[in-house]
Amino acid sequence: DALIQINITEDKIKALVSTRLPVGTGAPVSAERIREEAEKAGVVKGLSNEAINDVVERSLTGEILTECVIAEGLLPMEGNTRLSLEVSGDPGKAPVPVKTGDVIGTIQSGEESGWNVLGEPLMDEKGVMTTGKNIRREDFEENSIRLIAEKGGHLVLSEGTLHIKDLLDFVGDVSMASGNIHYPGRIIIDGSVLSRVMVNGGEGVEVTQVVQAALINSGGDVTIGKGIKGEGKAVIRSQGQLTLGYAEEANLLASGKIVVGKTLMNCRVKCNDILEISGKDGKLIGGVMKLKDGLICRDVGNERGAETVISFGQDYLVENQIEQVQKEIAKIQEFIDKTDEMMEKLEQKGSSGKLIVIRQKKVDALRIMEKKNLKIFLLREKFERHFDSEIKVSGTAWPGVVFESHGRLIKVEEPLKSVSITFNREKGCLEKKPLR
């Protein structure tokens, strides 16, 4: 006889049928046999006559079928207003990305529940949809509850429960073959991140091995078990703390602290907290550091005079904003220059109508330019604010090292042993003292 196999999806929302052709005079696939097998599998609701008949017709033409949907449950958001979603997508059919604090939707109490293909309700005994981890329920209006995402991740409806999967586990190396990874929650990669790929984690990224010339962007902490071999192209952005073993030729940006186990070599770093190279042999060799709250390190530079520039005591994220606005101003100025050229040509041709239009565009651009220049002025004032900070070098700062704050410099000409560098706001200069 023809083989008929019924499978039920993990969330019990769909029943699937697979068929194989009969041998010789064996009985073919029929609607009655499909229903019998479905009943044996526990499917009691949601069977579709149309879907079953389609399977029978295709099987009779000699087609082998695999996992065709023959039954579907009724999700609470379908056919009524029991659950009103405020996110795009259907978590019963595919995971829906959400961020921390997102309003998922509102649910009404005291109404008939949805159900899965086994006939089980998708709401609890009070007529309210059951919710699992990472979803907060808040009283909203009369007889309704608002659902709030407590963590970022994927919103799913599984086994009658709405919950957020906040962690993505990836086993192996992230490469061009595997593709980029984007996830609104936390990402744990049990392997390395190879060159020319991107990992974007909304609430944190952890890599157990090495990061090559790749881009990692995180709305939370970033942890790299071994280190970074950046080839001058790696970019690591963390809105929390960045923790790693070592880094070579990488660009590191962190809103929180940066903690390094061994060595930073030839890196560009912007940190809105403190850079701590915590190992006993912790070394900072070469590169440009911009550290709001300062540095704790054993050795800075090396005997060969590696150029190492360390700025501290200012908000370098504000400096980023200044650089961005400057780029915008340059583009506006380029546009204004082009309008001047166009107006000169139109004046020669006597095209007064087009000339009026171009002149108005220039006036609009000049107004925008004025606003951008004011923004630059305010940002520069903000950037001049000083933050209490200190450079602590417990070993040696070698010649080739430059300490800078507010445009004041200390250029190391002779090795400095066990030294502290601070900015004296009253005198407006940098001071070096023996480290306590």
Integer angstrom CA distances of residue 349 from 170, 340, 345, 353, 359: 65, 14, 6, 11, 15
Total of domains in the chain? 4
What is the predicted pLDDT for the residue at 76?
A: 63
**CA distances (Å), origin 362, targets 336, 339, 350:** 6, 6, 18
Residues 355 and 294 in one domain: no
Taking a C-beta distance cutoff of 8 angstroms, is the pair 334, 365 a contact? no
Can you tell me the mean pLDDT for 412-430? Answer: 95
Residue 272 CB-density burial (10 A; 0-12 exposed, 13-18 middle, 19+ buried): buried
Which band of pLDDT confidence, cut at 50, 70 and 90, is reported for residue 349?
Answer: confident
Q: Does one domain contain both 184 and 237?
A: yes
pLDDT of residue 143: 64
Q: pLDDT of 280-338, one tens digit each? A: 888 999 999 999 999 999 999 999 999 999 999 999 999 999 999 999 999 999 999 99
The verdict on 303 and 326 lying in the same domain is no
Q: How high is the pLDDT of residue 133?
A: 85
Same domain for 58 and 107, yes or no, is no
DSSP state of 407: T
| Residue 212 belongs to some domain of the structure | yes
Q: What is the pLDDT of residues 73-124, one digit of tens each?
A: 876 654 444 667 788 888 877 889 999 999 998 876 544 557 789 988 776 5
* pLDDT tens readout for residues 23-78: 888 889 999 999 999 999 999 999 999 999 999 999 998 899 999 999 998 766 54
Per-chain mean pLDDT for the chain: 90
DSSP β-bridge partners for residue 200: 182, 217
In a domain, 392, yes or no: no
Q: What is the mean pLDDT of residues 252-279?
A: 96
Q: Which residues contact 300 (CB under 8 A, 6 or more apart)?
A: 283, 284, 285, 308, 310, 393, 396, 397, 398, 401
404 in any annotated domain: no
Whether 233 and 307 share a structural domain:
yes
List pLDDT tens digits, range 154-181.
998 876 678 899 999 999 999 999 999 9
How far is it, in rounded angstroms, from Cα 291 to Cα 275?
7
pLDDT value at residue 5: 94
- What is the residue range of 351's domain? 317-383
Which residues are CB-contacts of 284 (< 8 A; sequence separation ≥ 6)?
Answer: 263, 264, 275, 277, 295, 297, 299, 300, 301, 308, 310
Polymer length of the chain = 436
416 is a domain residue: no
* pLDDT score of 330: 96
Do 204 and 297 belong to one domain? yes
Asked whether residue 182 falls in the same domain as residue 306, the answer is yes
Please report the pLDDT score of residue 129 as a whole number. Answer: 58
Q: Residue 419 corresponds to which amino acid?
A: V
**Parallel/antiparallel/unpaired status of strands 103-108 and 144-149:** antiparallel
| Predicted pLDDT of residue 126 | 46
Residues 199 and 154 in one domain: no
Q: Find residue 136's DSSP bridge partners.
A: 148
pTM of the model: 0.72
- Residue 176: exposure state from Cβ atoms within 10 A (0-12, 13-18, ≥19): exposed
pLDDT score of 406 more than 90: yes
Whether residues 286 and 335 fall in one domain: no
Residue that terminates a domain, selected from 312, 340, 364: 312
Let me know whether 284 and 236 are in one domain. Answer: yes
Among 95, 130, 165, the domain boundary falls at 165
Residue 299 lies in a domain: yes
Residue 13's pLDDT is what?
86
**Are 180 and 287 found together in one domain?**
yes
| Per-residue pLDDT at 279 | 77
Looking at the fold, whether 32 and 89 belong to one and the same domain comes out as no
